[in-house]
Amino acid sequence: MNEIKRLSPEAEARLNQGLLGLWYPVLPSWAVQGTPVGITRLSRNIAIWRDADGAVHAIEDRCPHRGARLSLGWNLGDRVACWYHGIEVRGDGVVASVPAVQGCPLEGQKALPAYAAKEIEGAIFLYFPIADEPPPPLDLPEEMTSDAYSRMLCTAHWKCNWRYAVDNVMDPMHGAYLHAQSHSMAEGDKQAEFRTRKTQTGLVFEKTGQMGVNFDWVEFGNSGAIWLRLSIPYRRKFGPGGPFTIVGFVTPVTETSCRVFFWRIRKVQGWQRHVWRFLYRTRLEGLHWQVLEQDRVVLEDMAPRAREQEYLYQHDVGMSRVRRILEQEAARQVAHA
Ligand code: FES
Ligand SMILES: [Fe+2]
């Protein structure tokens, strides 16, 4: 069952660093306030700041003069100024001023790549182009966009390659084992049969015999961003809104680390929304962190080169399909490079 078809080293590197041509959440919105922030995503250093209107700007975090990190410098609104010798670079990557020298030819040059930015539901998304193409629209699942739902963002840094974090979500069966002691996944069969079903944007991987008891299905989609969706039933004592939906994103940081973004969602309005948000903040969020920590502990300590020495079985078919989709995309991207 474990089909091994080797990717070229270039495609493997592209996949490990992160596929391009996609939007990725990179930071929660609250993390960018007055001063520029330096981050690494998809193995690139990026400087992010807000202008006076609150709009987000993102450029490569490297001063075109001698390479100091621009994120260490000053926020001048539409520009940042390098701390080292004062060069000012605009949000589109063009050098606005070289204050130490008169008439420096660097002024007016586009010196750095810039990233298109959007803010959605409390997170900053950046577009990582393949070449220089304009960003495509970003169509997220309705739980992320419709007013009928109430969303809470949870984000964490994990010291594992992003592909393992995607594998983990594409693997519903771990709910009944790894999270067996949790508030939401203590019930249901310890064995299951699965099937895959195609969707417009990807696929659903679901149990054939059990629905609405545990982590019983998961969906992979690519619609401008790669997202994962799943739902977990909630017992009545956890308040109004029925099942608990999670829409998740995994953003590569380096080849050995990633940042996960999970929106925790319920279909609640009016007073029920207040009840759910209150319950979440006071009680459920802590319980969910315990669950997420179980995932993190396992994923950060997988065997070296785990993926190359696996024995996969029927429960791993959904994960294998998604791996194949991602591998094909990586191969396509490096072939066009
Ligand atoms: S390194 Fe930035 S101005 Fe010199
Ligand atoms: Fe998990």
Residue range(s) defining the domain that contains residue 307: 142-335
Same domain, 105 and 187: no
Same domain, 43 and 82: yes
Q: CATH no. for residue 179?
A: 3.90.380.10
Same domain, 170 and 296: yes
Q: Is residue 134 part of a domain?
A: no
Same domain, 210 and 62: no
Bridge partners, residue 231, by sequence? 245
Question: Mean pLDDT of all residues in the chain?
Answer: 94
Same domain, 104 and 47: yes
Same domain, 182 and 280: yes
Q: pLDDT of 102-147, one tens digit each?
A: 999 999 999 999 999 999 999 999 999 999 899 999 999 999 999 9
Nearest Cα residue to atom 1 of ligand 1: 66
Nearest Cα residue to atom 3 of ligand 1: 85
Q: Is residue 279 part of a domain?
A: yes
Q: pLDDT of 29-65, one tens digit each?
A: 999 999 999 999 999 999 999 999 999 999 999 999 9
Polymer length of the chain: 337
Q: pLDDT of 160-191, one tens digit each?
A: 999 999 999 999 999 989 999 887 777 878 88
Same domain, 166 and 73: no
> Ligand 1 centroid to 27 CA: how many Å?
26
Same domain, 208 and 67: no
pLDDT at residue 337, rounded to an integer: 74
Closest by CA to 145, choosing from 227, 205, 220, 215, is 227
Same domain, 173 and 314: yes
What would the DSSP string read from start to end of 61-108?
SS-TTT---GGGSEE-SSEEE-TTT--EEETTSBEEE-TTSTT-TTTT
Residue of 45, 66, 95, 109 best suited for mutating to test ligand 1, as the one with most atoms within 8 Å of CB: 66
- Residue 68 Cα: closest atom of ligand 1: 1
Q: Is residue 7 part of a domain?
A: no
CB atoms within 10 A of CB 190: 9
> Ligand 2 centroid to 145 CA: how many Å?
24
Q: Is residue 211 part of a domain?
A: yes
Cα–Cα distance, 45 to 35 (Å, whole number): 16
Q: Is residue 2 part of a domain?
A: no
Closest by CA to 251, choosing from 103, 74, 128, is 128
- Residue 70 Cα: closest atom of ligand 1: 2
Q: Which pLDDT band, with edges at 50, 70 and 90, does 6 fall under?
A: confident
Number of domains in the chain: 2
> Ligand 1 centroid to 51 CA: how many Å?
21
- Residue 67 Cα: closest atom of ligand 1: 1
Same domain, 168 and 286: yes
What would the DSSP string read from start to end of 2-43?
----PPPHHHHHHHHH--SSEEEEEEEGGG-SSS-EEEEETT
Ligand 1 shell residues, CB under 6 Å: 63, 65-66, 68, 82, 84-87
Same domain, 154 and 57: no
Q: What average pLDDT does the segment 5-13 reach?
A: 90
Q: Is residue 5 part of a domain?
A: no
pTM: 0.95
Residue where one domain finishes, among candidates 103, 118, 133: 118
pLDDT of 237 strictly over 60: yes
Q: 105 near 115, Cβ under 8 Å?
A: no
Same domain, 252 and 292: yes
Cα–Cα distance, 276 to 240 (Å, whole number): 6
Q: CATH no. for residue 85?
A: 2.102.10.10
Q: Which ligand is nearest to the CA of 70?
A: 1
Q: pLDDT of 206-236, one tens digit each?
A: 999 877 888 889 999 999 999 999 998 887 7
Q: Is residue 298 part of a domain?
A: yes
